[in-house]
Chain A
Amino acid sequence: MLEYIIKRVVALIPVLFGITLLVFLAMHFVPGDVAQTLIGEKGGQEEVVKLRHELGLDKPLYVQYGIFLERALTGNFGVSYQTMEPATSAVMRAFPVTIQLSLVAIFFSLVIAIPAGIFAAVRQYSIFDNLLMGGAVLGISMPVFWTAVLLMMLFSLRLRWFPFTGIISNSISLHQITGFQLIDAAITGNWRAFSDVLRHLILPGIALGALPMAIIARMMRSSLLEVLQKDYVNTARAKGVRELKVINKHALRNALLPVITVVGLQFGNLLCGAILTETVFAMPGIGRLAVTSILFRDYPVVEALVLFTALAVVIVNLMVDVSYAYIDPRIRY
Chain B
Amino acid sequence: MSFIRSRLLIGLVVISLLAVGWAAFGADTAQTGGTLVVGTGADPAGGLDPECVMNNEAAFIMATIYNRLVEYAPGSVDIVPGLAESWDVSSDGLIYTFHLQHGVTFHDGTPFNANTLRQVFDRLLDPNFPNYYANRKGIDSYVPGTLEANVASYSVIDDYTFQLNLAHPYAPLLQDLAMVWFGIVSPAAVEKYGAEVYKHPVGTGPFEFVEWVPNDHVTVKANPNYWRGKPKLDEIIFKQVPEGSVRTMMLQAGEIDVMMNVPPESITVLDNDPSVQVYRMTALLVNYVQIPRMVAPFNDIRVRQALNYAVNKKELSQYLYQGLAEPMESPMPPGMPGYEPLTPDFSYNPDKAKQLLADAGFPNGFDCNLYTYGNPRSYNAAGGKIATALQGYWKKIGVNVHITQLEWGSYLRTVRDPNFSDGMAMSGWTADCGDPDNFLFYLYYGKATNIPHAMTGRPDVDSLIEQERVSADPTVRADIIGQALQDIWQDAGDVWLTNGVLVRATTSNVHGFQLDPLSMFFYADQIWKGN
Contacts and interface: CB of A to CB of B under 8 A. Distances in A.
Interface of A: 30-34, 36-48, 51, 54-55, 81-85, 90, 93-94, 149, 152-153, 156-157, 160, 163-167, 170, 279-282, 284, 288-289, 292, 295-297
A42 B406 CA distance: 18
Contact of B253 (A44, A47, A164, A288): A164
B450 A165 contact: no
Contact of B46 (A30, A83, A288): A83
Contact of A296 (B45, B213, B241, B411): B45
Contact of A170 (B45, B217, B241, B407): B217
Contacts of A165: 239, 241, 246, 250
Contacts of B213: 284
B416 A55 contact: no
A47 B142 CA distance: 11
Interface stretch (B133-141, B183-191, B316-324, B359-367): B133-141
A280 B442 CA distance: 36
Contact of B214 (A42, A93, A164, A166): A93
Contacts of A55: 137-138
A133 B140 CA distance: 54
A288 B215 contact: yes
A295 B452 CA distance: 24
19 contacts: A31-B406, A31-B409, A31-B410, A33-B413, A44-B450, A84-B46, A85-B199, A85-B214, A149-B246, A152-B246, A152-B249, A165-B250, A166-B217, A282-B216, A282-B239, A284-B215, A289-B215, A292-B42, A297-B409
B138 A288 contact: no
Nearest to A276: B243
A65 to B, nearest CB: 20
Nearest to A284: B215
Interface in B7-55: 35, 37, 42-43, 45-47, 54
A33 B198 contact: no
Nearest to B253: A157
B242 interface: yes
B136 A45 contact: no
Contact of A33 (B35, B140, B239, B412): B412
Contacts of B412: 32-33, 36-37, 40-41
Interface of B: 35, 37, 42-43, 45-47, 54, 136-138, 140, 144-145, 196, 198-199, 213-217, 219, 237, 239-243, 245-246, 249-250, 252-253, 255, 406-413, 416, 418, 432, 442, 448-450, 452
A170 B250 contact: no
Contacts of B216: 166-167, 282, 284
A76 B490 CA distance: 56
Contact of A32 (B237, B246, B409): B409
Q: Which of B37, B140, B237, B406 has the most CB of A within 10 A?
A: B140
Which 8 pairs of residues, A with B, have the shortest CB-CB distance?
A: A32-B409, A32-B410, A284-B215, A37-B409, A31-B410, A45-B449, A33-B413, A82-B45
Contacts of A281: 246
A204 B409 CA distance: 30
A164 B408 contact: no
B246 to A, nearest CB: 6
A170 B413 CA distance: 39
A82 B46 contact: yes
Nearest to A288: B215
Contacts of B138: 38, 51, 54-55, 81, 84
Contact of B409 (A94, A170, A295): A295
A36 B242 contact: no
Given A31-B410, A45-B416, A280 B214 contact: no
A90 B198 CA distance: 16
A37 B249 contact: no
B150 to A, nearest CB: 16
Contacts of B240: 282
Nearest to B249: A157
Contacts of B242: 279, 282, 288
B216 to A, nearest CB: 5
Nearest to A163: B255
A83 B410 contact: no
A170 B219 contact: yes
Contacts of A84: 46-47, 136, 138, 196, 198
Contacts of B409: 31-34, 36-37, 295-297
Contacts of A167: 216
Contacts of A85: 199, 214
A83 B243 contact: no
A280 B448 CA distance: 40
A164 B255 contact: yes
A149 B214 CA distance: 24
B17 to A, nearest CB: 41
B246 A280 contact: yes
B238 to A, nearest CB: 10
Q: Which of B54, B216, B219, B407 has the most CB of A within 10 A?
A: B216
B413 A36 contact: yes
Contacts of B137: 51, 54-55
Contacts of B215: 94, 284, 288-289, 292
Contact of B140 (A39, A93, A94, A289): A39
A198 B46 CA distance: 31
A55 B450 CA distance: 21
B450 A279 contact: no
B47 A83 contact: yes
Contacts of A38: 138, 140
Nearest to B196: A84
Given A84-B47, A165-B246, A292-B45, A46 B449 contact: yes
Given A31-B413, A37-B413, 5 more contacts: A37-B409, A43-B450, A166-B239, A167-B216, A284-B213
Contacts of B253: 156-157, 160, 164
A291 B7 CA distance: 75
A294 to B, nearest CB: 10
A114 to B, nearest CB: 32
B162 to A, nearest CB: 28
A149 B246 CA distance: 7
B433 to A, nearest CB: 12
Q: Which of B217, B242, B246 has the most CB of A within 10 A?
A: B246
Contacts of A30: 410
Contacts of B237: 170
A281 B144 CA distance: 40
A36 B243 contact: no
A32 B407 contact: yes
Contacts of B255: 156, 163-164
A282 B243 contact: yes
B214 A44 contact: no
Contacts of B43: 82-83, 292
B140 A40 contact: yes
Contacts of B144: 47
A157 B254 CA distance: 9
B406 A90 contact: no
A282 B246 contact: yes
B56 to A, nearest CB: 10
A230 to B, nearest CB: 49
A157 B46 contact: no
Contact of A164 (B145, B196, B246, B450): B246
Nearest to B195: A84
A167 B239 CA distance: 12
A205 to B, nearest CB: 17
Nearest to B409: A32
A101 B241 CA distance: 18
A43 B140 contact: yes
A281 B477 CA distance: 51
